[in-house]
Structure 1
């Protein structure tokens, strides 16, 4: 484990991760005071063979983070959890199944947030986690080729300790604001990694079939677990595409490949893939 001096604000407890690395059989674990993009750093390590399955790259202050569609993202030091996790499934599942790791990570965060704070977090398709109707977490998954086959780096930024003035937009919040209390970043991150690892094992056991019954979750599939947490379903939504076109309709269901099924006003259904959209917003203007 490589550790630099943590930020003075809400620093992680390295001892937590010493024991966690052994408990979860983590790969390389890096905890950095400052870093560029954690996804880029971990993807580079994975491509060169220096990072193995369940490697973790965390920074107290990310300076060159990227969101969806290449948007820049910088986190105030010590206020968030900025972390990337590497999943190397080898031959346990087809490459197409790796697209589900965005939702798998979102589900793991929902479980961790509920466990540590009591806040009933939900998923906004395709890559955010919400507290109420405000964003607390963004997720970006990146496919990478490693010496052991294709893998996925899943980067997340969870707002933990910000006050209102530190949040970039009015549609965002932090766990401290949502829960009305201080939240231990060390405990929260440890909980997320435990849930991520447990879901990862179960997903591998069904060879990446998101609709298959997972034994360790009482026969419930990953798609069903995600669907139960999906705040987008049942709402009228406005889908914005990169070319400026719009689709308005009701978000009906999550398909087996992770696509969102939207039924328009003429009762026509449309399969919307995450990689093809610019924004998905509720038609009433709310973020969820």
Structure 2
């Protein structure tokens, strides 16, 4: 990973970021930024390898060498109830990066990156808030994965950009593209005070979300499952699922398993 090249292309005054640090290995880039007493807005930390990566709901995130593991500290100054959109924003950025290297991609709500024709999982996203702002962490599988990487939640098969035939595997270049895409969406979202409708983020996310229109099983807290059809996203990013009895349920969080496609997507008219 070429820190000098990243700095030249992305750090102020040539780019939107305050600083970029690259380390050989760490437990978790998110944890490292959260531990800093007063991190500057748009500070980036990239690790060649993570030894204690964390996924959603406290799960561990496997971080084999050859991936792209980065965290960005933001002080967006938007209302707290709109901060969850930052993780959905990261999903949009990841889809666009995958497309830029010739890999088809979509999003399983809320932010699982599905790559290739078999829609296997290629990235993880986790955001953590603290008194100074929010840290957004992304782990993107770049090089071919070893055979012992376990299944993701919901039984998703893991994959990487290289495994799906990407035409670019240079991690410095991919970091530039990912951080550029993050800024492309975070800046207007911030300028719109975190409003996903005004900034266009809601529409863009829904365009890439392959969960919409699918029959799904949502694994909720307390070993409760909700079966139904994923219909649309509310303005706050929550998923609306209609059960077999025709009742709509607003799902703020949970693991989604795609059962089969029902056709269509987006908000019903």
How high is the TM-score relative to the length of structure 2?
A: 0.89
Q: Where do residues 17-166 of structure 1 align in structure 2 (5 Å cutoff)? A: 17-19=6-8, 20-22=10-12, 23-45=14-36, 48-49=37-38, 51-77=39-65, 79-90=66-77, 93-115=78-100, 117-132=101-116, 133-146=119-132, 151-163=133-145, 165=147
SS in 1 for 2:236: coil
Rounded to whole Å, the distance in 1 between the matches of 2:57 and 2:122 is 19
Is 2:229 the counterpart of 1:250? yes
Rounded to whole Å, the distance in 2 between the matches of 1:82 and 1:163 is 15
Aligned residues: 253
Rounded to whole Å, the distance in 1 between the matches of 2:149 and 2:62 is 11
Rounded to whole Å, the distance in 2 between the matches of 1:84 and 1:104 is 14
1:110 CA displacement: 1.1
1:182 CA displacement: 5.2
SS in 2 for 1:61: coil
Rounded to whole Å, the distance in 2 between the matches of 1:143 and 1:134 is 28
Task: Report the counterpart of residue 252 of structure 2 in structure 1.
Answer: 273
Contiguous gaps of at least 5 residues in structure 1: 1-11, 215-220
Rounded to whole Å, the distance in 1 between the matches of 2:146 and 2:32 is 30
Counterpart selection for 1:227 from 202, 206, 230: 206
1:124 CA displacement: 1.1
Q: Where do residues 195-210 of structure 1 align in structure 2 (5 Å cutoff)? A: 195-210=181-196
RMSD: 1.6
The answer to whether the Cα contact below 8 Å between 2:238 and 2:251 also exists between their aligned partners in 1 is yes
Deviations 1:52-75 (A, max 9, x none): 111111111101111111112232
Rounded to whole Å, the distance in 2 between the matches of 1:54 and 1:231 is 30
How high is the TM-score relative to the length of structure 1?
A: 0.84
1:164 CA displacement: 5.2
Whichever structure has more helix as a proportion of its residues is: 1
**Where does structure 1 differ by over 3 angstroms across 4 or more consecutive aligned residues?**
none
